[in-house]
Amino acid sequence: MWTNFFKLRLFCCLLAVLMVVVLVINVTQVEYLDHETVSATFIDSSGQFISSQVTGISRNPYCGYDQQILSSQERMEEDSLLAALHRQVPDVAPVPFVKSTDPSSSYFVILNSAAFFQVGSQLEVLVHVQDFQRKPKKYGGDYLQARIHSPKLQAGAVGRVVDYQNGFYKVFFTLLWPGKVKVSIFLVHPSEGIRVLQRLQEDKPDRVYFKSLFRSGRISETTECNVCLPGNLPLCNFTDLYTGEPWFCFKPKKLPCSSRITHFKGGYLKGLLTAAESAFFQSGVNIKMPINSSGPDWVTVIPRRIKETNNLELSQGLATFPSGYYYKDQWRPRKFKMRQFNDPDNITECLQRKVVHLFGDSTIRQWFEYLTTFVPDLVEFNLGSPKNVGPFLAVDQKHNILLKYRCHGPPIRFTTVFSSELHYVANELNGIVGGKNTVVAIAVWSHFSTFPLEVYIRRLRNIRRAVVRLLDRSPKTVVVIRTANAQELGPEVSLFNSDWYNFQLDTILRRMFSGVGVYLVDAWEMTLAHYLPHKLHPDEVIVKNQLDMFLSFVCPLET
């Protein structure tokens, strides 16, 4: 009996040791996968996604974001996004200004030149960048924007830029209308400036700072706030209990944290650049400057047969590029037929018996302002909200339309927002029942441009979860995402709201909401393709086209 007992005990001990060994091996393998190689999806320089391997992912330690608890799928997604965007910046030593990209000595040439092109043909353009000594550059990383346009036809479309990392770039255009079509290439930032912008993104995420007013009776104090704060001073923790979105303020000396009244933008840090770095950000020299052609900069396009043109216009698939184009100042998406809502009655008919929720920054507040101005029956109800901040509400009692706007939660650079009105979009979505008469539009991007990308990814992850839950309980709810857009840039604005920052955010947004069941208003292409100057808040003709697209999702053409 004792012999059998000792045998059983020995067997149990050996089994326990074996289990420990297996566990250690598995943990080691998981750690190796997490830190060395992860199968993932990359964005190549053309903006398309390709399968590859993510190696040696470097995470920004800002605010402990590198210590986030993520599922394996979330970590893989974040790794793929960070790795793909990081690859776009060349790893080269700092160079003096004279060796940086000079748009005036760089040039482009149309490669597949022909006497005539047909509508639907591909146009290829080669860009060769040179420095201020007129010497060819041997590395890439410059941020270029490209479009084709026909001014007399008020037509335009964007091009797809491929960086060969050797001073050469190729731009691919799809010719989408007949006539004389001109090519325009712009250097937004030289690669040397991009490296500076990347440094600021990683090392100076607090270059926009925020404040809150605390008040109780006659006593008031103002302290600084942000996603996280340096030092060891006492803090007020305003982290959202539901989404986990972090937000902190330095604790007032005399008042409790519960006495917070308002949130507002504190300002912008100065003296961020050295003298050498400042040379890479000069208006009229290397910020959004045209690159000229070394030969003809236009081609002639002839019409295609009607049947072939229709197939081209309504091409399907996520990879459709460009997503649309302007013709006679009207946006024409390539995936579906967009309606024109030129009469207020058309909009009223579309939105009748509907509740429309607009969430986000001031670029979607423009939609609220356009609708309440253009549709006379849609009367704004005065909630006493601060101007340009909200929340705002408009009602058409006759046609049973309710239109709402609310800004997203911090970080937000508005002048003054009551702290009680700092609502996170994800939480607002969780409170919506949804249904066929519910419409939601979201635009969250501009106020995240100064932060490491992990901050934006986390925010979108929370919003996406809420959108998925909303569509799961109410599949007939219409959810529309408005993308980022290009804007005017100068030396100072470039350090906080550069198109390069916003291009990164736009890329992340598109990827994270792909396949979720939402509609996309491509504000990025709609601003780049238009002939008007870029603005953070685009002109009315562009906003009108955005809303035509939005309303076409809500009330599509019957087919």
Percentages helix, strand, coil for the chain, rounded to the nearest 5? Answer: 35, 30, 40
Cα(398)–Cα(71) distance, integer angstroms: 49
Complete domains list, the chain, with CATH: 97-190+287-306 (2.60.40.10), 208-268 (no CATH), 322-554 (3.40.50.1110)
CA atoms within 13 A on the CB side of 427: 14
Spatial neighbors of 244 by CB under 8 A, at least 6 apart, are 462
CB 95 within 8 A of CB 196: no
Nearest-CA neighbor of 288 among 146, 184, 197, 188? Answer: 188
The pLDDT tens digits for 537-557 are 999 999 999 999 999 999 998
CA dihedral 316, 440, 72, 86 (to 10 degrees): 70
Among positive and negative, which fits the CA dihedral 326, 295, 142, 492? negative
**Pairing outcome for strands 208-216 and 219-226:** antiparallel
In whole angstroms, how far apart are CA 193 and each of 107, 189, 343, 454, 498?
19, 6, 46, 22, 11
Residue 193: burial class (beta carbons within 10 Å; 0-12, 13-18, 19+):
buried
pLDDT band at 308 (very low <50, low <70, confident <90, very high): low
pLDDT of residue 38: 31
Average pLDDT value for residue range 502-531? 97
Query: pLDDT value at position 382?
Result: 86
3-state SS string for 204-230: CCCCEEEEEEEEECCEEEEEEEECCCC
Measure the CA–CA gap between 436 and 553, rounded to whole angstroms. Answer: 12
Question: Predicted confidence band at 317 (pLDDT cuts at 50, 70, 90)?
Answer: very low
- Read off the pLDDT band of 357 (50, 70, 90): very high
Both tokens of residue 152? 């007399």
Out of 227-236, 304-313, 426-435, 446-455, pick the least confident.
304-313
- Strands (E) in 88-174, as ranges, are 101-110, 117-118, 122-131, 143-150, 155-158, 160-163, 168-174
Distances in Å between the Cα of 65 and the Cα atoms of 136, 175, 237, 401, 454 are: 40, 44, 16, 42, 7
Output 390 or 322, whichever has higher pLDDT: 322
Q: What does the pLDDT read at residue 19?
A: 47
pLDDT at 9: 56
Burial of 207 (0-12, 13-18, 19+ CB in 10 A): middle
- Whether the CB-CB separation of 240 and 458 falls below 8 Å is answered with no
Instruction: Give the Cα separation of 265 and 33 in Å (integer).
Output: 41
More confident residue, 173 or 94: 173
Q: pTM of the prediction?
A: 0.87
pLDDT tens digit sequence for 22-68: 333 333 333 332 333 333 333 333 333 333 334 445 666 677 766 67
Beta strands in 18-150 (DSSP E): 37-43, 49-55, 101-110, 117-118, 122-131, 143-150
Residues with Cβ within 8 Å of 542's Cβ and at least 6 positions away in sequence, in order, are 526, 527, 530, 532
* DSSP-assigned states of every residue in 497-557: H-HHHHHHHHHHHHHHTTTSS-EEE-HHHHHHSSSSPP-SS--HHHHHHHHHHHHHHHSPP
The number of CA neighbours under 13 Å toward the Cβ of 446 is 23
pLDDT of res. 48: 34
354-371 average pLDDT score: 98
DSSP secondary structure string for all residues of 449-494? TTS-HHHHHHHHHHHHHHHHHHHHH-TT-EEEEE--------TTTH
pLDDT at 7: 52
Q: Say how far apart CA 286 and CA 98 lie, in whole Å.
A: 12
DSSP secondary structure letter of residue 192: H
pLDDT confidence bin for 69, thresholds 50/70/90: confident
pLDDT tens digit string along 139-197? 999 999 999 999 999 999 999 999 999 999 999 999 999 999 999 999 999 999 999 99
Q: Is the Cα torsion angle 91, 93, 94, 95 positive or negative in sign?
A: negative
Which residues, at least 6 apart from 204, have a Cβ–Cβ distance to it below 8 Å? 269, 272, 450
Contacting residues for 22 by C-beta, under 8 A, at least 6 apart: none
The residue ranking higher by pLDDT, 312 or 337, is: 337
- Over residues 401-414, mean pLDDT: 96
Least confident of 80-89, 129-138, 254-263, 436-445: 80-89
Least confidently predicted of 8-17, 138-147, 391-400: 8-17
β partners of residue 118: 302
In sequence order, what DSSP letters do the residues of 104-118 get, joined into one string?
EEEEEEESS--S-EE
Summary mean pLDDT of the chain: 88
Q: What is the pLDDT of residue 168?
A: 97
